[in-house]
C-alpha cells in the first residue's frame, strides 16, 4: 500500500514495489507537480533474514520504515536529489546511484 506524506515543501510517496521478486521499497519525492527524484531501499535476498526471520516483506517494512524515512529526510535536508539506492546486504549497507544498479534492473 502506497503512503503519502510531506516533509518541508516536498511531497513523498512510498511503498513496496508491486510484484517484485526481490525486496524493493521506493520513495518518490516531488515539489509541487515536479518530480525531484527517486530513492529506493533494496535488500539483497541473503540479507532478508537480518530484518525478519520469515522474510515477510510487510513485517520488514513495519519494523524499518521509520529508519528509511530518516534517510530520505537527510537526503532532502542535504538537497541531494539524485536517484539513489540504499542497498542492504548481508554484511552491511551502501548507497549507490540508481543507474549503477544494472544487476537488479535486468532481473525485472
Q: What digits encode the pLDDT tens for the residues 51-91?
A: 999 999 999 999 999 999 999 999 999 999 999 999 999 99
Least confident stretch, 24-33, 78-87, 96-105 = 96-105
CB 17 within 8 A of CB 1: no
pTM of the model: 0.89
Rounded-to-integer distance, Cα 39 and Cα 37, Å: 7
**How confident is the model over 2-31, as a mean pLDDT?**
94
Instruction: Give the distance, in angstroms, between the CA of residue 14 and the centroid of all CA atoms in the same chain.
Output: 8
| Burial label, 75 (beta-carbon count in 10 A; 0-12, 13-18, 19+) | buried
The per-residue pLDDT for 108 is: 39
Across the chain, mean pLDDT equals 91
Amino acid at each position: 500500500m502506497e503512503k503519502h506524506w510531506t516533509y518541508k515543501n516536498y511531497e513523498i510517496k512510498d511503498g513496496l514495489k508491486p510484484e517484485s521478486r526481490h525486496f524493493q521499497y521506493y520513495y518518490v519525492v516531488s515539489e509541487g507537480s515536479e518530480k525531484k527524484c527517486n530513492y529506493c531501499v533494496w535488500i539483497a535476498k541473503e540479507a532478508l533474514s537480518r530484518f525478519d526471520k520469515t522474510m515477510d516483506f510487510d513485517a520488514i517494512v513495519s519494523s524499518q520504515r521509520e529508519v528509511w524515512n530518516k534517510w530520505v529526510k537527510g537526503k532532502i535536508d542535504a538537497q541531494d536529489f539524485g536517484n539513489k539506492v540504499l542497498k542492504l546486504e548481508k554484511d552491511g549497507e551502501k548507497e549507490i546511484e540508481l543507474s549503477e544498479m544494472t544487476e537488479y534492473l535486468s532481473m525485472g
